[in-house]
Structure 1
Amino acid sequence: MKKIFVFVIVLINQFSLAQENEIQLTIGKFFNAFHQRDSIALKKVCSENLVLHSISESEKGSQFSVEKAANFYKSIATIPLSIKFEEKILSFKVQVDGAMAHVWTPYEFYVNDKLSHSGVNSFQLFKENDGWKVVYILDTRRK
Structure 2
Amino acid sequence: MKYFLIVLTFLFNAASLRAQTAEDSVKAAINKMFAAMKNADSEQLQSVFSDNMVLQTISKNKSGALTVLDEKPAEFIKQIAASAPGDLDEQIQFSTVLIDGPLAFAWTPYSFFYKGKFSHCGVNS
1:8-87 pair list within 5 angstroms: 8-57=11-60, 60-79=64-83, 81=84, 84-87=87-90
- Report percent identity of matched pairs: 34
Q: Which runs of 4+ in 1 moved over 3 A?
A: none
The count of residues paired between Structure 1 and Structure 2 equals 121
Aligned-partner residue type, residue 117 of structure 2: K
| Unaligned stretches of 5+ residues in structure 1 | 123-143
- What runs of 5+ residues in structure 2 fail to find an aligned partner? none
If you compute each CA radius of gyration, which structure gives the higher value, 1 or 2? 2
* One-letter amino acid of the structure 2 residue matched with residue 4 of structure 1: V
Using structure 2 for the length normalisation, give the TM-score: 0.87
Deviation at 1:61, TM superposition (A): 3.0
Q: Deviations over 1:78-125 (max 9, x none)?
A: 12x287221111334211111111111100111122221111111xxx
With normalisation by structure 1, the TM-score equals 0.77
- Deviations 1:44-100 (Å, cap 9, x if unpaired)? 111122210110136723221100111111111112x28722111133421111111
Query: Which structure has the higher relative contact order (CA within 8 Å, separation 6+)?
Result: 1
What is the CA–CA distance in structure 1 between the aligned matches of 2:96 and 2:115, rounded to whole Å?
28
- Distance in 1 between the 2:86 and 2:64 partners? 28
Q: Judging by fraction of residues, say which structure has more strand.
A: 1
